Chains A and B, each alone.
Chain A
Amino acid sequence: MKSLSLKNNLIGYTFIGPFVIGFLLFTLVPALASLYFSVTDYDLLSTPSFIGMENYTEMFTNDSKFFASLKVTFLYVFIGVPLRLAFALFVAMILNTASKAIGLYRTVYYLPSIIGGSVAVSIMWRNLYGDEGVINHFLNMLGLDSVRWFAEPAAALWMLITLSVWQFGSSMLIFLAGLKNIPGELYEASNVDGAGPVIRFFKITLPMLSPIILFNTIMQTIGAFMTFVPAYIISKGEGGPLDGTLLYSLYLFRQAFVYFDMGYASAMAWIMLIIIAILTGLLFWTSKRWVHYESKGGH
């Protein structure tokens, strides 16, 4: 790195200053505290007592639920996030046209995302996937057997995944804003060249949108790891059937506030942090190959 002048540093820290201060004030100490709790036996109501790495060894050697929840969460993230992003991008593309009704369409497509974790959604979803629900009717129409969605752990997870795909609104909105940022001239120029829509999508839209795709991928992945509200919607927070929807965050919450084992929950949190950090790091690392920035510099 070239020698940076004092002035540059000063200006730089003036801009990111609020974040640095906020981090030192509100985040750092609680985060360090949770790191400390992770090597203690802490029940929230009495003094944490130091027990070394016991929480971590217990987790990896003696807790089958830990691995079960990890597996469920990985499936949820690696199937759900790509599907959700693809769907969000698809809808953003079709809504990226000039039409008088477009404001209305956008609002309507965003609706599923703002009724979020509400009871209405929970009831809807249970009806859709019920033994006599629409999904099973549809399967029967295709000549397939009905699925007992609430009885099969693997099937139940699909209820969560489809729910997350259906609530694609926030990613869609960000894609939409990104699409609006692509200069129209680029498309006009390609029209002159006689490029078809498929070529335009791969040659212009995707590269120009790549910083936003990176953003959405990273944020959705992090968000998906942290999810646990949908599990409440479908199994009343029990993680059933047979732990098929026992998401990691749900299990963590249970350890912390139902079993009063904050030490163990903190250890779980830090393991999750490491997993997400590795995945995010990988995404950033590969992004050098596929993300295209108009501006130079950066990280």
Chain B
Amino acid sequence: MKARQKILLLLMAFALVLVSACGGNNSGNSNSSNTPAATNAATNGDKEPDPVTLRIAWWGGQPRHDYTMKVIEMYKSKNPHVTIEMEYANYDDYWKKLAPQAAANELPDIIQIDTQNYTQYAGRNQLADLTPYIGNQIDVSDISQNAIDGGKLGDKLYGMNLGVNALGLNYDPALLKKAGIESIPENWTWDDYVGMAAKAKEAGLFFDSGMRAEVFFGYYLRTLGKTLFNAEGTGLGYEDDQMFVDFFGMLSKLVIDGAVPSPDVLAQIKGAEDSHLVLNQGIGVWQWSNQYVGLQQVANRPMALAPMVGPEMTKGLFLKPSMFFSVSENSKAKEEAAKFINFFVNDIEANKLILGDRGVPVSAKVKEALKEVSSEAQIQVYDYVAWAESNSSPMDPADPIGSAEVFKSLTSLAEQMNYDKIKPEEAAKKFRDEATSILKKNK
């Protein structure tokens, strides 16, 4: 009798856990009462707004924590009825924490999210659609439609773009000259790139530190009018494996020839501080524009940004949202959350603290105001991104579910090619097989 009761109790507890693990879906439909019309009426009234508590979570390093807290203080002093609880961590810990929170329906009201994890959270009904707040709580009069659309999944907007980045080569002009190259032309081609890399090698320098396979192969495909994933996210977006062979054949040859360091040499680098560029052994680094300021600071000498390689660079280049602020679906104060996001994106004084750390601001007004207070390196980034804006094409749709696994397969194959353990032709086939089998689950 007793034993049976015990078992029953356990089963109940077990069921409890399972039920709450399924919470993600239930909450999806129940919270549709927050229509903007209703909220507008409430907030435009004369009476004191009710006190509200917002939880906000982000990842970052010390400087970001410091200024974000200042921005939050600023907001609180303007909106005394709002209490804000901050939850911050570094990147790795942040995601480890967010997943169980989501499973337990305990997500913070405002969540910082990146494009890599965006689909996963947005596609599983964890995030609220912000469309009703656009133009109401969130003022978008100074923000281009393009920038807003960066946060779209299908026709829903699950994240507000906090800033944009563009790919490019961050390099040291002096080292470039040392390799016997005067400058990098704006419309350079892959042939130019390979030629310059050879020159760098002759001068005893590395040209760069390699291209991250999952990022730059996507770019390369775009220049050819293709995409890495198809529009539905159910398979690859290119049919001709020759594209794979051309691109990775070229890259792995540079590594094998020694113009670009091999993976094991890169594995021995501990941080930006002992990277080849900083130690005057490498000319440049292929990366996102928001990483430029940090690198330049560590290198502590004049640097420059060069555009991506062509032909058809304009087709390939795109502005990527560096990160979003999203509102969780289980939030009970969605429009208050939206108001905070509005402040974060549009307030000029706040952005003088943020200083483009979360990507080049999307608001034109903010961007203009920042120029006075920014450092030289920051202005270089603004200029580059502004140039990129008029020399790029719209971004691909958000990465489909399963993309993390596809990327891992690609980087693993790229590593094997760089070690000359597998021929590009064979890798191309393998990648197609693996990616197809991962993505077909989305059908």
Q: Is the interface of A mostly helix, strand, loop or mixed?
A: loop
State the Cβ distance, B125 to closest chain A Cβ, in Å: 7
Closest to B13 in A: A29
B103 and A32 within 8 A (CB): no
Bound together, the chains give a CA A48 to CA B15 distance in angstroms of: 13
Bound together, the chains give a CA A12 to CA B126 distance in angstroms of: 48
Residues in A with CB closer than 8 Å to B401 are: 43, 260
A240 and B263 within 8 A (CB): yes
A47 and B25 within 8 A (CB): yes
Interface residues of A in 1-60 (CB under 8 A from B): 24, 28-30, 32-33, 36, 42-48
With an 8 A cutoff between CB atoms, is B193 at the interface? no
With an 8 A cutoff between CB atoms, is B265 at the interface? yes
A33 and B264 within 8 A (CB): no
Residues in A with CB closer than 8 Å to B412 are: 242-243
Residues in B with CB closer than 8 Å to A242 are: 412, 415-416, 419, 421
Residues in B with CB closer than 8 Å to A149 are: 264
A45 and B267 within 8 A (CB): no
With an 8 A cutoff between CB atoms, is B22 at the interface? yes
B14 and A33 within 8 A (CB): yes
B419 and A148 within 8 A (CB): no
Q: B interface, how many residues as a size bin?
A: 35 or more
Known: A47-B24, A126-B268. A30 touches B415 (CB 8 A): no
Most buried by B among A46, A257, A260: A46
B18 and A48 within 8 A (CB): yes
Interface string of A216-260 (1 = CB under 8 A from B): 000000000000000000111010111100000000001001111
Residues in B with CB closer than 8 Å to A48 are: 18, 21-22
With an 8 A cutoff between CB atoms, is B262 at the interface? yes
B103 and A44 within 8 A (CB): yes
Residues in A with CB closer than 8 Å to B17 are: 29-30, 33
Interface string of B89-123 (1 = CB under 8 A from A): 00000011001101100000000000000001100
Known: A126-B270, A242-B415. A151 touches B262 (CB 8 A): yes
With an 8 A cutoff between CB atoms, is B10 at the interface? yes
Interface residues of B in 214-273 (CB under 8 A from A): 262-265, 267-268, 270
Interface residues of B in 250-301 (CB under 8 A from A): 262-265, 267-268, 270
State the Cβ distance, A217 to closest chain B Cβ, in Å: 31
Bound together, the chains give a CA A48 to CA B24 distance in angstroms of: 11
Contacting residue for B264 out of A36, A122, A151, A236, CB 8 A: A151
With an 8 A cutoff between CB atoms, is A199 at the interface? no
With an 8 A cutoff between CB atoms, is B404 at the interface? yes
Bound together, the chains give a CA A297 to CA B12 distance in angstroms of: 38
Residues in A with CB closer than 8 Å to B14 are: 29, 32-33, 36
B10 and A43 within 8 A (CB): no
With an 8 A cutoff between CB atoms, is B405 at the interface? yes
With an 8 A cutoff between CB atoms, is B124 at the interface? yes
A45 and B120 within 8 A (CB): yes
Interface string of B1-44 (1 = CB under 8 A from A): 00000100010011001100110110000000000000000000
Residues in B with CB closer than 8 Å to A46 are: 22, 24-25, 124-125
B120 and A260 within 8 A (CB): yes
Using a CB–CB cutoff of 8 Å, the interface residues on chain A facing chain B are: 24, 28-30, 32-33, 36, 42-48, 122-123, 126, 130-131, 148-151, 234-236, 238, 240-243, 254, 257-260
16 A-B interface contacts by CB (under 8 A): A30-B17, A32-B10, A32-B14, A33-B18, A44-B102, A45-B102, A45-B103, A46-B24, A46-B25, A48-B22, A151-B262, A241-B263, A254-B408, A258-B404, A258-B408, A259-B402
